[in-house]
Amino acid sequence: MFYEKERKMVPHIIEGLKNVFSINKKIAIAEELTVSSRIIDLVFLTIENEDLLDEEIINKLKRLNSSEQYILSLMSEYGDFSIQKIASDTFSDYYNIKNDYIELFLKLNLIEQLSRYRFKVIEPLINSIGELYAVEAKLSRWKEAIAQAEDTKKFADYSYVAMDAEFANEKKNAIISHFTEKNIGLILVDEDGSLSTAVNTKKVNSKNKTESRLQQLKALQDFNTNKKWKVLN
């Protein structure tokens, strides 16, 4: 194999991400991101409209606790929503949603009221961030990699595995069909750090949209401090 440790591949993966995925926009990337008690090697998302993001909005997001983040993520799934809909989806009391979340989000101008009973999340939180990709780095344990990548499909638009090119090429005939059947992409990391795509993947339609939106909101919260997410031009 070209690499002794998986972490040695990660800098090459980061450097070549935009080229291998043909992305011409800014991206935000996080290493070793914890999602639902699992650590994902690399997660990145596209920034669709940076002009929609201002410091005031980001600072407001930072004031939210985990419960508030989750409810706002759920609300952002809908074009517009009612308090009753959110209460029903979360098995919560109507007035709990109204008093603890709706009033707070209105005060922070994170949602807007369309009518007496209808609300919607503000445009910057919906349209500033685009698709979310997850990449697991593996030297040779392709079955484990597929299982992990299958799990990341719960929140990611695209789920990939990046493997040592020497090992993957030796086993290509045996493993390619497994990636294709599971709709999991396969990236090969060569000795010189260059990347190539062995298996492309289609966009995941069965993901948990709330979890996906939650990760996007967390990325937005971190944009000014860059504690976890780094923006790459």
- Taken in order of first residue, the domains within the chain and their CATH numbers are 6-48+128-199 (3.40.1350), 54-126 (1.10.10.10)
- Give the burial string for 49-67 (b: 16+ CB within 10 Å, else e): eeebbeeebbebbeebeee
Return all residues near 180 (Cβ < 8 A) that are at least 6 apart. 199
For residue range 151-169, list pLDDT tens digits in order.
999 889 999 999 999 999 8
The Cα 144–Cα 230 span in angstroms is: 28
> Per mean pLDDT, which range of 61-75, 119-133, 216-230 is the poorest?
216-230
User: How many angstroms separate the CA atoms of 166 and 76, rounded?
Assistant: 43
CA torsion sign for 133, 127, 219, 154 is negative
Is the model more confident about 116 or about 52? Answer: 116
Q: Has residue 52 got a pLDDT over 70?
A: no
The pLDDT score that the predictor gives to residue 214 is: 84
224, pLDDT greater than 70: no
Ranked by mean pLDDT, the top range of 127-131, 144-148, 205-209 is 144-148
